[in-house]
Amino acid sequence: MARSAEVNTLEKTDIFLLAGFLGSGKTTLLNRILSWEADLSDTIVLVNEFGKIGIDGTIIRSKNGGRDVIELTSGCICCTLTDELVDTLIDIWQRFRPKRILLEATGVAEPESITKIIGSDSLRDRMRIEKIITVLGIRYWLGREAFGPFFMGQVEQADLILLNKIDTVSKDRLQKAVTDLKATVTGCPVIPTLHCEVDPEVFWNRPVRLRLGNFYTSMPTSAVCSDNGGSRTQARITYDTFDFVSEKTLDEDLFDDFLKNLPWQLFRIKGPVRFADRTVLLNYVAGQADWQKWKAPGSTRLAFIGWEINTVELRKKLKECVAG
């Protein structure tokens, strides 16, 4: 009883949940937040990655002076890593009593499920979801019919939506996307962004909109999803993930051909790629490759995420890209 009384008298830790589908720009947003001239000494950064290799944590450290980042890999915190997330959050709270936690969820995480975890008996006296910020790639939104209910859940659960990568579509398509999105999430701020550039005041401000997740918190997971003949059932998409690591350099022309001939089911590739004359960071999203500078020479370390992909064949083709 004494321990419970102690917990209840302390101020809760605010969790800012960064959600959004694969490759929408969550890590870009997190790096932007950490670059703001704000006092983040009482802030913990927690990153969840679907694959075994922690790419995002490495990127965040490299761009923010080696800042400490806690990583949860090899699964999603809203399903396979639920217990690990609870244990990690309790440990963080007991050791640091942080003012806030910036939690970057994996691209296939359901904000509603994470809201339920934070509202569980183990955590609700220690912390709360302060705000759900969904980063939404505009091309994903324009093709939303292909991604199912969990994708829409990331949108509908948001307190703030950053409609990102607006430079990839025409002005007419952008205007339609914003109009349709605002009609879908009435009352939720929608901000078109390029590289997740957003005013810090907009990001930190307390949301005034009631989340749908507040209603669902006390309901069983099986009761929340698509309707099926009068009874609601859980609908999930199974994603495939694999990693590729090579200490040898890759042939740039062969790797470029590899990227151009990938199946559409491969949504995401992320990590440093070592060529003969340089090492660069690859950020591949739904058919588009973005290259950024990477200071450390290191090795090639790539994480792949897709749907019903032939990992054996892809590994074979990757090995063919290794020089010499």
Task: Write the CATH number for 79.
Answer: 3.40.50.300
Last-in-domain residue among 232, 250, 266: 232
Contact 160, 120 (CB under 8 A): no
Higher pLDDT, 2 or 11: 11
Return the pLDDT at 55. 46
To the nearest 10°, report the CA torsion of 56, 34, 296, 317: 20
Does residue 284 lie within any of the structural domains?
yes
Return the pLDDT at 318. 92
305, pLDDT greater than 60? yes
On whether both 166 and 274 belong to a single domain, the answer is no
Higher pLDDT, 159 or 38: 159
Annotate 210-274 with three-state secondary structure.
CCHHHHHCCCCHHHCCEEECCEEECCCCCCEEEEEEECCCECHHHHHHHHHCCCCCEEEEEEEEE
User: What average pLDDT does this structure show over 300-316?
Assistant: 85
- Interatomic CA distance for residues 286 and 24, integer angstroms: 10
* Confidence bin at 135 (pLDDT 50/70/90): very high
Does residue 217 lie within any of the structural domains?
yes
On whether both 200 and 252 belong to a single domain, the answer is no
Q: What total number of domains does the chain contain?
A: 2
Return the pLDDT at 211. 42
Domain that residue 268 falls in: 240-319
On whether both 205 and 257 belong to a single domain, the answer is no
Helix (H) or strand (E) run with residue 178 in it: helix 171-184
Last-in-domain residue among 186, 209, 232: 232
Return the pLDDT at 181. 93
163, pLDDT greater than 80? yes
- Interatomic CA distance for residues 285 and 137, integer angstroms: 10
Return the pLDDT at 154. 93
- Interatomic CA distance for residues 203 and 186, integer angstroms: 18
pTM higher than 0.75, yes or no? no
User: What average pLDDT does this structure show over 221-233?
Assistant: 33
Average pLDDT, the chain: 78
